[in-house]
């Protein structure tokens, strides 16, 4: 189930020309704070405002003609929904997104703007799964899970593959972990394309299921959704967990205070308007004791409700 080097190379070829080769930015203030050279991979400037388009594009491109003709579906209130909508539109197939009724208006509007069909459901996971099952029963659509899917993991790996091309000789790469698609993809990208680079996961202390899962050797349940980093509230998926466990990946946790401070500094000084989930990786970079190292930081996304910033 773990993607191979060939899977990553195929993903790389598929995303080319569809996803944006996002820029890498630097910031002297953040370098001073970290005592290191930080290189920010700007996936908040990706189409759809997050790295998610990489995995969605690879998954949609993997479908046979017959499968594609029946469309794709998922349940998501977040960035994966927008990404799948864009990837499906690009292939000219239908995307159906099951979204809880309380999803932010800006995310609904974005998904509709990309041409997807939204089916509303209740707020619980059971509501979402039931509604998605109905959609699939009627349409025969292929379900594309946001992270527990080898095609998604291989697609997310392309962010780090690009970063290794853009910034040679990185000592460390830090990526946030929620469901684990991005982090496990980053681990595989380093393994195959930059074996000298150590990969570290960044997780809110209030959503530390991945760190605990690795410590205990067994997947832990989702924590109560209290962290400001709303993209990282999800529990780690089975495929990502297997990748992290077998590669002995370290996941570090940071406090809410450090997350908000890192987010604000990244906005104010680096002028990169990232979401809190990305700031978790910045916070680990600042506090990590990476003296004089060359540290890549994957800024996963920038979809923020501008009327509800966490320092207000």
> Taking CB under 8 A as the rule, does residue 162 contact a second copy?
no
| Distance of closest approach, residue 78 Cβ to a second copy, in angstroms | 15
Residue 9 vs residues 21, 46, 115, 135, 167: alpha-carbon distances, Å: 15, 20, 29, 32, 19
> Taking CB under 8 A as the rule, does residue 64 contact a second copy?
no
> Taking CB under 8 A as the rule, does residue 309 contact a second copy?
yes
Among 104, 191, 212, 267, binds a second copy (CB under 8 A): 267
Q: How far apart are CA 278 and CA 159, in angstroms?
A: 14
Binding mask 91-110 for a second copy (x = CB under 8 A): ---------------x----
| Candidates 23-31, 149-157, 176-184, 285-293; binding stretch for a second copy (CB under 8 A) | 23-31
Among 2, 45, 89, 143, binds a second copy (CB under 8 A): 45
Query: Which residues, 6 or more positions from 193, have their beta carbon under 8 angstroms from its beta carbon?
Result: 8, 160, 161, 164
Measured from the CB atom, the residue of 200 and 298 that comes closer to a second copy is 298
Q: Are the beta carbons of 278 and 182 closer than 8 angstroms?
A: no
Measured from the CB atom, the residue of 87 and 207 that comes closer to a second copy is 87
Q: How far apart are CA 267 and CA 122, in angstroms?
A: 34
Q: How far apart are CA 285 and CA 162, in angstroms?
A: 20
Residue 78 vs residues 13, 35, 169, 231: alpha-carbon distances, Å: 26, 34, 33, 7
> Taking CB under 8 A as the rule, does residue 25 contact a second copy?
yes
Among 6, 17, 23, 238, binds a second copy (CB under 8 A): 23
Place of tokens 């959704």: 225
> Taking CB under 8 A as the rule, does residue 302 contact a second copy?
yes
Q: How far apart are CA 40 and CA 58, in angstroms?
A: 23
Binding site for a second copy (CB under 8 A): 23, 25, 28-29, 44-45, 47, 49, 106, 113, 264, 267-268, 271-273, 302, 306-307, 309, 311-312
């Amino acid at each position: 189930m773990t993607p191979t080097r060939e899977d990553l190379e195929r993903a790389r070829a598929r995303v080319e020309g569809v996803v944006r080769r996002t820029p890498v930015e630097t910031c002297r203030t953040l370098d001073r704070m970290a005592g290191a050279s930080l290189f920010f991979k700007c996936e908040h400037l990706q189409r759809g405002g997050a790295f998610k388009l990489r995995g969605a594009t690879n998954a949609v491109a993997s479908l046979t003609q017959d499968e594609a003709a029946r469309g794709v579906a998922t349940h998501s209130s977040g960035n994966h929904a927008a990404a799948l909508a864009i990837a499906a539109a690009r292939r000219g197939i239908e995307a159906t997104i099951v979204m809880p009724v309380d999803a932010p208006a800006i995310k609904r509007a974005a998904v509709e703007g990309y041409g997807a069909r939204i089916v509303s459901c209740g707020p619980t996971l059971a509501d979402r799964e039931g509604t998605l099952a109905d959609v699939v029963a009627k349409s025969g659509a292929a379900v594309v899970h946001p992270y527990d899917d080898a095609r998604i993991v291989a697609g997310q790996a392309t962010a780090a593959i690009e970063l290794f091309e853009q910034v040679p000789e990185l000592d460390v790469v830090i990526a946030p972990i929620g469901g684990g698609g991005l982090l496990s993809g980053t681990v595989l990208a380093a393994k195959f394309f930059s074996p000298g680079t150590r990969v570290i996961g960044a997780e809110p202390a209030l959503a530390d299921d991945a760190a605990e899962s690795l410590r205990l050797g067994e997947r832990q349940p989702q924590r109560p959704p209290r962290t400001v980093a709303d993209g990282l509230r999800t529990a780690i998926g089975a495929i990502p967990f297997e990748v992290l466990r077998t590669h002995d990946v370290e996941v570090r946790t940071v406090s809410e205070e450090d997350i908000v401070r890192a987010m604000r500094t990244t906005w104010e000084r680096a002028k990169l308007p990232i979401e809190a989930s990305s700031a978790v990786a910045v916070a680990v970079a600042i506090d990590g004791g990476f003296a004089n190292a060359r540290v890549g930081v994957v800024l996963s996304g920038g979809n923020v409700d501008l009327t509800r910033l966490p320092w207000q």
